[in-house]
Structure 1
Amino acid sequence: MHLVRYVDPGTGTARVGRHEGDRVNPLPSAESVAELLRLSATELRELLERDTSADSTPESGARLLPPIDGRTEVWASGVTYERSRGARVEESDAGTVYLHVYDAQRPELFFKAPAWRVVTDGDPVAIRADSPLNVPEPELALVVNNHGEIVGLTACNDMSSRSLEGENPLYLPQAKVYNGSCGLSAGIRPIWQVEDPTDLRIRMTVRRDGDEVWRGETSTAKLHRTPRELVDALFAETDFPDGAVLATGTGIIPELDFTLAPDDLIEIEIDEVARLSNHVVRGRETTSWFTESPDQPKARA
């Protein structure tokens, strides 16, 4: 079962539901995911297990939306895998900073996207027109309620402009935060339905003109920091009234001679959690629909 947002085919409005099998069942008592992330983990589990409706929609007739809304924010973690540490050192003229943060007491955390700027499965992700080196970064993402409890998991594509961050680590916000830079799978998998979040296989494939041009694999068992440690650092001095999504960093990074191109297809899969598939576009003009999508869900089509 996955918690989802979708466009009601009858009214054209966004609804919240449970995606099970080939059906989507609305949650009658919830109007937004933000509302659900104000509940405690116990309250959320009880609601999802009891709140049923006979008014289901076939999966084929439900346009799935990004799984967050309201004031929910997406944040991300950096240099949490040994592979990430090595790649950052390789690409940067200031590589020693990444050696220090890998073993530091405080993790690297950065803002990634507000809910309205998130894309989901089937939407395009973007590469910056002013960056010659761009890669996808597949990551396990923690869905956290406003009490700081991890209540769900999803997959995140933390798109990254490696040339910008490599030029200067202080350019990190520009390398990471722009239209089309944050993809989340359409569904949130409840944490209690995943046997061991610290031992999940993550796979990514990039296809170009139908041919596989890059493939990588890792496991959350290789994470240098625990999910709880990352969440505690995020919530230490910051309130999240509608909860937060925290991507845990990537252990899959292509070599420096690889960069994404427009029309590439990125496929990400995390065992037991989610799949995420996005085509690549370039530049701001290809994502103008972002500003309309919060109030007009059909704009994503």
Structure 2
Amino acid sequence: MKMTTAYETGTFVGRAWRPDVEGPSLVTVRDGELIDITSKRVPTMRDLLDLSDPVAHARSASGEAIASVDAVMARPAGGSDEVHLLAPCDLQAVKACGVTFARSMIERVIEERAAGDATRAETIRARMTAIIGDSLRNLKAGSPEAAGVKAALIDEGVWSQYLEVGIGPDAEVFTKAQPLSSVGWGAAVGLHPISRWNNPEPEIVLAVSADGRIKGATLGNDVNLRDVEGRSALLLGKAKDNNASCAIGPFIRLFDETYSIDDVRHADLDLLIEGPDGFHLKGASTMREISRDPLDLVAQTIGSHHQYPDGLMLFMGTLFAPVEDRGEPGQGFTHKIGDVVTISSPALGSLVNTVRLSTDCPPWTFGTAALMRNLAKRGLL
């Protein structure tokens, strides 16, 4: 099946590297082609999402065909000498909400209580399952039922700070990556070399304008270093914000007559991990089980208490936490270098990345200053 099939319905926008201009361009998908719609009026994704009607602009703006979607996705993301997809965001802050699925909250508690030791995880998991059973399914954070589950866990001596953000009234919101540092479709995704217990986190990512309006959604991999964060929550920044540790893409699907926030609320995500050792793991996550509504997560991130003048991308958390043993019994899952991770959803397409160490991924060198200079050189500022 051609890759363009997923993008034939809806309004998709993104960013692509153009070697002939030595910089990124704003693109939309039309009839299987990447159309460069960069202009002096709308030079960046930030500017497109800030329009009152980005859909109308994406559909009507004049542009230049620079490559077919199939051709670009038929090869790995290349260097600066060929057209390739970038993360579809640019000047936006990249934020993430953690512990938004009550069931996956248990894995965070396990990470903390195991202090980053994968060998202790299975014993702790069995004990907690015996305490709460299936009571976390469809549990809504901040509800009386959530307070009851929290009380039961505390009574059993398994209190954790993750309980507070997982089922309490206030969401966890943290900085996942710096503007322009996220990698896109086909690129290497990085693990900090100090980690020995880690996994992908398939998520839907909201594209939010400066005034707090959700303009669309895409896919993301919020790489999780279970041992690092498990040792101490104060290591969250070190665990999350590393070279190439944030993958977003391939495109932002704008909200239009074919796609809305309700489609996000009911979205299903599939995960496939294919290892260089022949290992295969399939997983799934569904937004139907999220403990906090997407609109609530956005409201807790941006508002009178915090402004983002260039907008933001917001990871909404994941239900997926792999517990299957990959090697020795009781060790659970962890990545191997060379794993190919595919995160897919019918309405958003597929995000494909290969796992490397952050120290082996291409260094991040094209930042805000480089973008501004490039746009100015092209007469777009």
Q: CA RMSD in A?
A: 1.9
Take 2:38 and 2:344, find their aligned partners in 1: how far apart are those partners? 30
Contact 1:189 1:274 in 2 (8 A): no
Contact 2:102 2:167 in 1 (8 A): no
Contact 2:55 2:255 in 1 (8 A): no
Give the match for residue 199 of structure 1. Answer: 266
Take 1:89 and 1:180, find their aligned partners in 2: how far apart are those partners? 26
Equivalence map 1:73-112=2 (5 Å)? 73-93=93-113, 96-112=160-176
1:224 is displaced (CA, Å) by 0.7
Give the match for residue 287 of structure 1. Answer: 361
Contact 1:140 1:270 in 2 (8 A): no
Calculate the TM-score normalised by the size of structure 2. 0.72
Give the match for residue 266 of structure 1. Answer: 341
Higher relative strand content: 1
Take 2:319 and 2:159, find their aligned partners in 1: how far apart are those partners? 17
Q: Which structure has the larger Rg?
A: 2
1:238 is displaced (CA, Å) by 1.6
Give the match for residue 320 of structure 2. Answer: 252
2:33 counterpart of 1:33: no
Give the match for residue 181 of structure 2. Answer: 117
Contact 1:137 1:159 in 2 (8 A): yes
Deviation digits for residues 134-180 of structure 1 (CA, Å, limit 9, x no counterpart): 11100000000111000010001000110011111221111111112
1:198 is displaced (CA, Å) by 0.6
The one-letter amino acid paired with 2:99 is: V
Number of aligned residue pairs: 291
Contact 1:37 1:242 in 2 (8 A): no
The one-letter amino acid paired with 1:37 is: L
Take 1:293 and 1:177, find their aligned partners in 2: how far apart are those partners? 15
The one-letter amino acid paired with 1:8 is: R
SS at match of 1:17: strand
Give the match for residue 299 of structure 1. Answer: none
1:188 is displaced (CA, Å) by 0.6
Give the match for residue 229 of structure 2. Answer: 165
Contact 2:177 2:240 in 1 (8 A): no
2:244 counterpart of 1:180: yes
1:16 is displaced (CA, Å) by 0.8
The one-letter amino acid paired with 2:357 is: R
Deviation digits for residues 100-131 of structure 1 (CA, Å, limit 9, x no counterpart): 22221111110011222100111101111111
Take 2:103 and 2:251, find their aligned partners in 1: how far apart are those partners? 28
Question: 1:9–1:165: structure 2 CA closer, same or farther, 3 Å change rule?
Answer: closer
The one-letter amino acid paired with 2:278 is: D
2:90 counterpart of 1:16: no
Contact 1:135 1:159 in 2 (8 A): yes
Residue ranges of structure 2 left out of the alignment (5+ in a row): 1-10, 73-82, 114-157, 324-330, 372-381
SS at match of 1:259: coil
Give the match for residue 90 of structure 2. Answer: 69
The one-letter amino acid paired with 2:319 is: G
Deviation digits for residues 230-260 of structure 1 (CA, Å, limit 9, x no counterpart): 0001013221111100000011111161100
Deviation digits for residues 4-36 of structure 1 (CA, Å, limit 9, x no counterpart): 111235433321121234201122542111212
2:288 counterpart of 1:221: yes
1:288 is displaced (CA, Å) by 4.6
1:189 is displaced (CA, Å) by 0.5
Residue ranges of structure 1 left out of the alignment (5+ in a row): 297-301
Flag as ranges the 4+ runs of structure 1 deviating above 6 A. Answer: none
- Percent of residue pairs identical: 27
Calculate the TM-score normalised by the size of structure 1. 0.90
